[in-house]
Amino acid sequence: TNNVRCSLIANGQIDIPRLEETVSLFYTSPDMGIRKAAEYELQALQDDPTSWRYVPGVLESQASPNSKYFALQALGGLIRTRWLVLSSEQRDGIKNFLSAYVIRASNQEELPISFVNKLNLVLLQVVKQEWPHNWPTFITDLVNACNSSEGLCANILVILKMLSEDVFDYPEGQMTKAKEKLLQGALTADSKPIFDLCSSIIATACDNPQAMLVPKNAKVVLRALETLSAFLRWLPPQVIHASPIIDLLIKIFAIPTFRNHALKCLTELVSQKFPKGMTEDFRLAVSKSYIDLYRKFSASLVQLLPLDNLQLEEVYITAKEDARDFIGQLTFFLTALFGEHSDMLNELQDSEFLLGLRYIHVLTRVPDGEIFRATLSFWKGFIVKFYERNSVSSRYTTDKANGMYRDILHSLRDIMTARMAKPEEVLVVEDENGNLIRETVKNDEERQRYKSMRYLMLRLTHLDPDDMEHLLKSKLKSQVAGEFDWHTLNKICWAIGSITGSMREPQEERFVVSAIRDLLNLCEIQKGKDNKAVIASALMYIVGQYPRFLRAHFRFLRVVVQKLFEFMHETHPGVQDMACQTLVKVAKRCAKQFGIRHPSNQQFSGDRSSMDPPYLQEIINKIPSLIGDLQPHQVELFYESVAIMISGAPSDHQAKYTAELMSIPNQIWMQLISAASSNPSVLVDHISIRKINEILKINIAVCKVVGHLFLPQMHRIHSDLLQVYRVQSGSLTQYINEKGPAGCSHHQAKLLRTVRKTALDLYTAFFQAKYPPSLPISEAGNLPPSLHVAQTFVPSLMDAVLTDYRDSLPDAREAEALAVFSTIIEKLGTGPAHDTVLSIVPRIFENVFEVTLRVITKNFHDFPQHRLQFFSLLKNINEQCFEAILALNDVQLQMVVDSVVWAIRHTDRHIAETGMELFLAMIVRFANSRKCDEFFSRYMLKLVQELFAVLTDTLHKPNFKLHAMTLQRFMVIAESPKLTVRLWDPNSGQDFKSNADFLHHHMISLLQSAFPNVHPNEVKVFIDGLYEAKRDPPRFKQYMRDFIVQTKEFSNLDNKDLFADEIAAEKAARESQLALPGQLTDT
């Protein structure tokens, strides 16, 4: 748009009526076309390099607030990016105009607050460019101007608050590190008049509260408190505690209008971290200050909120916004004071200390997420101190020496139980192909809250397991006695599950048996499937949480598993899913118990006939009856759980159990294959496709668990599976030929593809297995298992998949095919099978590379899974089979390099990250290869240019660390003796000392042409700094961050002198470090 002539400017003047009309259309027109046209006009005006000249005319006119807001936005853009291009006279003119306009606007109450805030932001942009060097009196000018009027004083306080936030709270990415330090130092040096101004305003309000009934006066005090709150976050503690500000805040806390803001200031004050090494005298002074603060504050609080019968949770529900805000601020203040500085309150009497804890305890019941988070965090820290103080010798203490805390801790156990967070939940959903799959809901906030509450519940149980046991048992018995409620029962059971392992084993045994007995009784008492389903879910959750108890009591474990089998026949929604998930959990935690023999009910001393056969054998024998009522996805879970049991069985029985486990799926499989041998169309029948898919998913579930034990099973189905794959692919090709490319999205095509995808997933799972050096499996012969797998399965798989992938339409290609070959190279590419895997890479390149690259480089959106798997494949080839890349011809290598460049440019974070990892790994490999000279003479300059492109692009910020590491590596490679060829053209007429010298000059030239807005001297300083810091990663990254900030600004000045002191100090520190061996990290 820079080249578009703006129609809103004519004869050197802006057409204000037309601007008004355009802005109005942009905000209010219902026609999107008209709004787009208006946006285009406004963007053209904003991009006009002279547009800032018309801003005063718009602001001084009778234009609408929206038009004035747009004018300010245009001026802000100039200040942010082109300020240093202006002459000093122009900069002073803008600065003086804005200062005068802010003064006027501050006194015009009719102006929208959003417009005034925007005006303040624009002024602050100028301040951050000019202050302190070119505007040293800025702070004193503002403070002195506060005497002019209440409106101006209020707005000046807002500006000071915004400045504090910009400089101390949110400086990252907005300014260089040197400038950040400069402004923070300047604001700290000028903070006294601001601090005195706020203190004076607050003192006046305390001395004359009646005057605060005037809205203008009250507004000034509120702004002063807000500004003080922002400054208290970073002001040195010595300044704060040497002033009367604490007493002033306590006094103004008594005035209702200012109570919440005063409390926020007090919260910021007590949230401060004290510097290390503070003197004992200062520590004692601060301690006395905090004790005095607490005593005065608590005296006011007791008058305001007496603790007797205080039910804040009920008050909060019906309270107005101000009252809710007060309760929240009170929570943050007390938790900060008692959490951060409890050691400072040692001089308090026990009753005084308990008073604060009782208030925090009451606040813990308030039904608000932020308040509960704050109190939960406090109690975690408090309980840890209490636990360490009283229970250093034993994990299972019942010591109640600190009786003063007993009531509070008992009530805290009750609150945590009533508010227990939900553990991670698993849902069953339908995917795009109509298959039911498990999907885990990742609610990070809920999960983190559960972890925190579980930690606290464990600590509370350690302190007094008897009290915790009695509390939870009584709550559960209340449910049995008639107070049954779904919500409450779940909370109780989640709490019971959270404290697993925190009691001694005898007590835990008694507690768990009691809980399960009560739940079984409750299940008998309650009527209705919904109620029974909730109870069953709670029972299964508790069972899964106590593996130690189950492992120690096999008979009980057996009863529990039998109950889970019963629930698998219960068709109420959710019960079967919960039963299968719990069986998986129990199997994981008690795997060994299922595969060994246990004493029978009839005890005969010394007689082995008293030992029952392994329970695992019984489960496998009963599989047909156990899974009869389960849905396919539940059957997968069942097989997964039995496979886990097999993995825990004695090793000499595992192969036998695996074969028996797969007997039923194999029977169904052979029936389908047998029917297909006489009638191949069976394999493309809808019902058969679903059966095949279900069988393959069972195989996947088992394979992922048993690993190398799956080898005989894969031998059994491998050839038939490839035949099924070929039939499905042929039918899919025929169907698409009949229906055209659109047929890929038809239901029949999706069904056919489902089997192919699942078959490929099975091969991926199979190749991911870890193989020991040798196996007692006849099929492997004398070969190492990994080599046997590579030679037996990979060639025939490639025959079936590669050509099909290459010849299919893009929409009919499976990303899972790329995943299979990526897994083969990653898992089998090392060790005995390396040469075999290396030999297949050229064929993969031939059939996969070009056809995939052709479709994924059309845009950044289509085929996302193909993109990710393709670059993962290339990454694994680079890591495991780099010899194959070295063997590529020039055209093929060019394609590889282009694909890597495409990956690092990608807008998808995962693909860009994979691309950068590949980029870095590949240049490291080439740097140590026989083709070092050939590769870098041809590609280094191009790759450096592409690296700088993504480095300075805000879309790729997440990979900044990889960008820095890669640029460092290029600099190291340029200095390497292995790179013998010259990187520059000898015929260019230029000569350089070395490749490192050439790369240094090349990067300067590259950045100067790419960023004409950055002064050449600044570019040179940046590259020089990178070379100085190339073996100091933190410093190297900081140089890069600063330069990224500078690329957003236009400059015709060398600003180096503005930061001369900081640079000199840093240089002196570096020289001091260099004088001490080992102070610098060598990368």
What pLDDT is attached to residue 603? 42
Which of helix, strand or coil describes residue 428? strand
C-beta atoms surrounding 685 within 10 Å: 16
Quickly state the pLDDT bin for 1077 (edges 50, 70, 90): very low
What pLDDT is attached to residue 709? 93
How far is CA 259 from each of CA 197, 304, 322, 330, rounded to the nearest angstrom?
19, 11, 10, 10
731 or 605, which is more confident: 731
Quickly state the pLDDT bin for 466 (edges 50, 70, 90): very high
Read off the pTM. 0.79
d(CA 812, CA 745): 9
Instruction: Please provide the distance, in angstroms rounded to a whole number, between the alpha carbons at the two ends of the chain.
Output: 45
Tokens of 693: 């898919």
- Least confident range of 504-508, 540-544, 653-657, 1070-1074: 1070-1074
Contact between 333 and 266 (Cβ < 8 Å): yes
What pLDDT is attached to residue 886? 94
Predicted confidence (pLDDT) per residue in 803-821, tens digit: 999 999 898 999 999 999 9
165: DSSP letter: I
**Per-residue pLDDT at 644 exceeds 60:** yes
**Per-residue pLDDT at 236 exceeds 90:** no
What pLDDT is attached to residue 375? 96
- Least confident range of 388-392, 416-420, 483-487, 1003-1007: 388-392
**Per-residue pLDDT at 397 exceeds 70:** no
What is the pLDDT averaged over residues 137-149?
A: 92
d(CA 35, CA 1079): 60
**Per-residue pLDDT at 145 exceeds 60:** yes
Beta-carbon contacts of residue 846 (< 8 Å; ≥ 6 apart): none
What pLDDT is attached to residue 73? 86
What is the pLDDT averaged over residues 657-680?
A: 94
Beta-carbon contacts of residue 522 (< 8 Å; ≥ 6 apart): 479, 480, 484, 489, 535
Contact between 118 and 67 (Cβ < 8 Å): no
Q: Whose CA is closest to 448, among 423, 484, 476?
A: 423
What pLDDT is attached to residue 239? 86
- Least confident range of 81-90, 665-674, 878-887: 81-90
What pLDDT is attached to residue 944? 93
Predicted confidence (pLDDT) per residue in 279-327, tens digit: 888 888 888 889 999 999 999 999 999 988 888 888 899 999 999 999 9
d(CA 488, CA 482): 12
Which of helix, strand or coil describes residue 558? helix
- Lookup result for tokens 């006046």: 204
Predicted confidence (pLDDT) per residue in 479-500, tens digit: 999 888 888 999 999 999 999 9
What pLDDT is attached to residue 400? 41
84: DSSP letter: B
d(CA 170, CA 163): 10
Quickly state the pLDDT bin for 458 (edges 50, 70, 90): very high
Beta-carbon contacts of residue 246 (< 8 Å; ≥ 6 apart): 240, 266, 269, 289, 292, 293
Number of H helices, E strands in the chain: 51, 6
Predicted confidence (pLDDT) per residue in 547-576, tens digit: 999 999 999 899 999 999 999 998 887 889
**Per-residue pLDDT at 908 exceeds 60:** yes
**Per-residue pLDDT at 660 exceeds 80:** yes
Which of helix, strand or coil describes residue 1051? strand
d(CA 1024, CA 971): 12
- H-helix or E-strand spanning residue 903: helix 890-905
d(CA 628, CA 885): 52
Which of helix, strand or coil describes residue 596? coil
b/e burial code for range 384-417 (CB count within 10 A of at least 16 → b): eebbeebbeeeeebeeeeeeebeebbebbbebbb
- Lookup result for tokens 């200050």: 289
What pLDDT is attached to residue 431? 54
What pLDDT is attached to residue 63? 86
Contact between 911 and 868 (Cβ < 8 Å): yes
d(CA 713, CA 709): 8
Predicted confidence (pLDDT) per residue in 940-955, tens digit: 999 999 998 888 777 7
Half-sphere CA count of 883, side-chain side, radius 13 A: 10
**Per-residue pLDDT at 1063 exceeds 50:** no
Quickly state the pLDDT bin for 594 (edges 50, 70, 90): very high
Percentage of the residues of the chain whose pLDDT score is greater than 70:
91
What is the pLDDT averaged over residues 342-369?
A: 88
Beta-carbon contacts of residue 862 (< 8 Å; ≥ 6 apart): 855, 856
Q: Where are the alpha helices (DSSP H) in 165-210?
A: 177-189, 191-207
**Per-residue pLDDT at 401 exceeds 50:** no
Q: Whose CA is closest to 535, among 582, 489, 495, 498?
A: 489
d(CA 24, CA 999): 53
d(CA 312, CA 634): 46
What pLDDT is attached to residue 52? 81
664 or 830, which is more confident: 664
What is the pLDDT averaged over residues 908-929?
A: 93
What pLDDT is attached to residue 632? 95
Please state the length of the chain: 1083
**Per-residue pLDDT at 646 exceeds 70:** yes
1057: DSSP letter: G
Predicted confidence (pLDDT) per residue in 839-858, tens digit: 999 999 999 999 999 998 88
Predicted confidence (pLDDT) per residue in 1023-1059, tens digit: 998 999 888 888 888 888 888 777 765 544 444 433 4
Contact between 470 and 394 (Cβ < 8 Å): no
What pLDDT is attached to residue 655? 94
Compute the 3-state secondary structure of the chain and give helix, strand, coil in percent, each to the nearest 5. Answer: 75, 0, 25
**Per-residue pLDDT at 329 exceeds 50:** yes
Angle 598-706-866 from CA coordinates, rounded to 5°: 155
> How high does pLDDT run on average in the chain?
86
What pLDDT is attached to residue 387? 61
12 or 1034, which is more confident: 1034
What is the pLDDT averaged over residues 243-247?
A: 93
What is the pLDDT averaged over residues 80-89?
A: 82
d(CA 888, CA 874): 13
What pLDDT is attached to residue 411? 94
**Per-residue pLDDT at 1079 exceeds 50:** no
- H-helix or E-strand spanning residue 40: helix 32-47
